[in-house]
Chains A and B, each alone.
Chain A
Amino acid sequence: MKFKDNYYRLVGVRNEGAHSLFSIALLPDCELYRGHFPGDPVCPGVCSIELIRQCAECLEREPLFIHRIKQCRFTVLLSPVTCRELTVDLFLSPFGEEESVIVSARICDEQNVYVEFKSEMLKKGRTISG
């Protein structure tokens, strides 16, 4: 399944210091909610991870492979019914060799922080070491 324009829509991007803030609209008609869960739509946590990866790819302008996730906390349940608009607050920093990047992110709106995320991603097509 293609996530962009099916699970979410990118509304805009702006920078604040070293952070990039992505405005995201969740799309409640996405077919995934038929099964997650029937009659009770809840955003799958892993879809938030995919969303963060796609925002990071947008900044890096190349595909990224999620090599490690140090920690990803889902602090508040997210539903497309109660939450239509989100901010993905992204901070990237180079790591070790230049083929690797540390991606730190938070997904939030005015009320809640839903996800706190830290991982190492590799630029694809480069070799994976360790």
Chain B
Amino acid sequence: MQRRFPDLDAKRARLQAGGGQERIDKQHQQGKLSARERLALLYDPNSFIEFGLWATHRCAELAGKEFPGDGVVTGKGEVHGRPVFAFAQDFTVGGGAVGDRHAQKIVECLWAALKMGTPVVGFNDSGGARIQEGVEALSGYGKIFYHNVLLSGVVPQISVIVGPCAGGAVYSPALTDFIIMVDSTSHMFIAGPEVIRAATGEIISEEDLGGANAQAAIAGNVHFVARDEHEAVEVVKVLLSYLPQNNMEGPPDIPFEEPLPDDEALDWIVPEDPRQAYDVRDVITRLVDHTVFLEVQAVFAPNIVVGFGRMAGMVVGIVANQPAVMAGVLDINAADKAARFIRTCNVFNIPVVTLMDVPGFLPGVAQEHGGIIRHGAKMLFTYASITVPKVTVILRKAYGGAYLAMCSKDMGADSVLAWPTAEIAVMGPEGAVRVIYRKELEKASDPQALLQEKIEEYRQTHANPYRAAEAFYLDDVIRPSWTKRLVVERLGVLRGKRDLRPQKKHGNIPL
């Protein structure tokens, strides 16, 4: 059958083909997908509406060159029935380089998301700025960054790095809420290996410098590492399932009618010997529904565990010290990781459940000179300033400043529960005894025996939850097996929480 407007069909087909089949095949050979394939993975079938298919550059130096969509596909679609805006840079079109029209398309996508109160997902696969466009390209980046900041705290922004993302371009993802990288096909850095070699003489590969694992485990810039792009998009969908559409809504809680029986295994999870560790993730998976926990930044600062789960259907953010790694101490990286995550929860109205077993802040010259005071302060500042429901459970150690940094009652916890294994004190028994009985220990005929005797005495008087409970710093001392039920009850009570604060532009968090 003959169709009318054959020219239009041909033009549309050419634009939709991006840089052409040959270049798309090349993407596939590298384990990458095309921009449109990425959006197809993200969106429910037939839900995609494209903006700016016809838009292209207006650069005189590039006159005559065709850049379908100006190297980026933008639009709106649905993810499990919920509207989500997205843009996907098209590496097959001029290397996905950013020119002024390309940037305009992204900015208009961000604006639309802001107006509709809808999350935005960005797929970054770009060689960088389109050099021929000069300052216009730079201005494009600037406008994208500005809008990323404008949207921050209003709608969730998720960045997926699916190719190169270097130089100034890294700052768009860096300004968003979550970054997902794909192992071995994506790279992020400010200055690449060549520039570094010229500047400092250091020799390093792209992968070691800015590959997914380096960015996730060492730098801590990235929240998730996916094996391939399919998995990366799955992570986006799972992440969205915990987040509200915008800051005016609650997170997507789901109905939960099941009973919450006692979980006897929790009664046995903390070892008798205080020297021994346990994996706090075993506690977390017993508290969340169906053991489903989405750990965020799993490989960075693993001495603290953060992530999303549901408790009786309610979305919660969980922050937990990890005694199995570095004794669960708070250090610079752990403080940064936790503070960032807790603020993300607050912005999106997600209650925070804190599981405390912390021996203290990490001592050491590197930590002090690295600014542990400033970084640790972020945690204290964050817990005190967030207004979502906060429930803290003290599993074992709660020593000194770290006890306060992990959201004690005084730092704004709405409810604090403690297991009978809790030890709430200014410092651990041995350290405390050595300070209190320094003179006696020096004079003693058998200092070891005296030390042991005093440690035991200290344990009895300080290293337990009862003194703190009597002083009403704890709401209750509970059997660990009751934890889920009691935390859920308290979260239920806190649903209507209103936390009024003095008017200000914003607090001055130490950065």
Report if A and B associate in a common complex.
no
Interface residue ranges, B against A (CB under 8 Å)? none
